[in-house]
Amino acid sequence: MSLSIVSRAIVPGGSRVKAVPSRVEWPTVALAAVIYGGWLALTAMQGALPWWLLLPAGAWLTAWHMSLQHEVLHGHPTRWTWLNDLIGFVPLSLWLPYARYRDDHLGHHRDANLTDPIDDPESYYVTSGDYLRRGRPGRALLAVCNTLAGRVLVGPARGIVGFLAAEGVALRDRPGLTLRIWLPHLAAVACILLWLHLACHMSPLRYIACFVYPGYALALVRSFAEHRAAEEHRHRTAIVENTPVMGLLFLHNNLHVVHHLRPALAWYRIPAFYRSRRERLVRLNGGLLYNGYLDVARRFLLRKHHEAPHPATGPTGGARPRQAR
């Protein structure tokens, strides 16, 4: 399997290109089969499983599927965009349309704008003006969600509610575009709910409690400390080493600096790329390095990763953009 040539991801500097594999990337095809097959089997068997087994398995598969969606939107595993999008389209998380995530995430790859609360769609920072306007309860919520414990426990509810509210505004302002995204998504969600009800006898609440919410929470572990505000844009992207289990779950995007430098690089090639260039990459990102996610938890479980107002924004800055992941 040859290395992808570049043709639809965003490379540093903001040019839009698209990753076109010269051959089908069979490890990713196999991964998709494992995830979808595992989801079908787990939901079908859910009635025979106690919640304390169903919840971690459901969370893993949902978070793994979110990692798969991230992989396919960067042009994997085939040269056919329609087929890649079809692989990523199935909304196991229910709340997030793949097309919206794809478009927002590619905007995140304009590395010169990383962490900017206006121009980076995935920034966890806010402008100073937005911070002041939130009032004491809103500022307290930001502080809680900038700790790892808060991000995992409260972050999914905050993220989903905020995302859906922003989509309501988008529906008002751009109804045609928004409906083109949401109508196919809702049709697919209806199919999933029918499967859960008719074939699995599983209530939507049980699915949300054991798959959707904990899966999103698990995915937020990856994004929690992967970026920070810094004057030099290459110093804004982190590396989390020594994560054999979580690295597989996140498809090696714990080595996040590699993904931003080579967004068209297939997930299974990232570790070798990193090992062969480790010293250079650590210098390149200014030493923003963690020794596993236990190290991230040790530093930030109950302590803020960053102050919410972005240091480069003034007191009259605009509102924070929608954030999905």
- Angstrom distance (rounded) from CA 322 to CA 169: 11
pLDDT greater than 50 at residue 105: yes
Q: From residue 104, how far is each of 16, 31, 120, 155, 258 by CA, in Å?
A: 13, 24, 9, 19, 20
- Measured in whole angstroms, the distance separating CA 181 from the mean position of its chain's CA atoms is 18
- Measured in whole angstroms, the distance separating CA 191 from the mean position of its chain's CA atoms is 24
pLDDT in tens, 221-279: 999 999 999 999 999 999 999 999 999 999 999 999 999 999 999 999 999 999 999 99
What's the farthest any 2 CA atoms get from each other in the chain? Answer: 56
The CA-based angle 271-237-97, given to 5 degrees, is 85
pLDDT in tens, 7-45: 233 333 333 344 567 789 999 999 999 999 999 999 999
> What tokens does 307 get?
């102050």
**This prediction's pTM:** 0.90
Task: Return the closest-CA partner of residue 300 out of 156, 145, 154, 159.
Answer: 145
Percent with pLDDT over 90 in the chain: 88
Determine the pLDDT at residue 313. 74
| Residue of 21 and 297 predicted with greater confidence | 297
pLDDT in tens, 124-163: 999 999 999 999 999 999 999 999 999 999 999 999 999 9
Determine the pLDDT at residue 205. 98
- Angstrom distance (rounded) from CA 231 to CA 235: 8
- Angstrom distance (rounded) from CA 195 to CA 224: 33
pLDDT greater than 70 at residue 320: no
State the amino acid at position 34 in one-letter form: V
- Angstrom distance (rounded) from CA 196 to CA 221: 27
pLDDT greater than 50 at residue 317: no
| Torsion sign over Cα 265, 269, 270, 273 | negative
pLDDT in tens, 261-270: 999 999 999 9
> What tokens does 283 get?
């210098």
How far does the chain reach from its first CA to its final CA, in angstroms? 30
What is the rounded average pLDDT of the residues 314-323?
Answer: 45
Determine the pLDDT at residue 279. 97
pLDDT greater than 60 at residue 318: no
Cis peptide before 12 (omega within 30 of 0): no
> What tokens does 18 get?
């698209």
Residue 143, helix vs strand vs coil: helix
Confidence of residue 3 (pLDDT cuts 50, 70, 90): very low
Task: Return the closest-CA partner of residue 216 out of 162, 255, 165.
Answer: 162
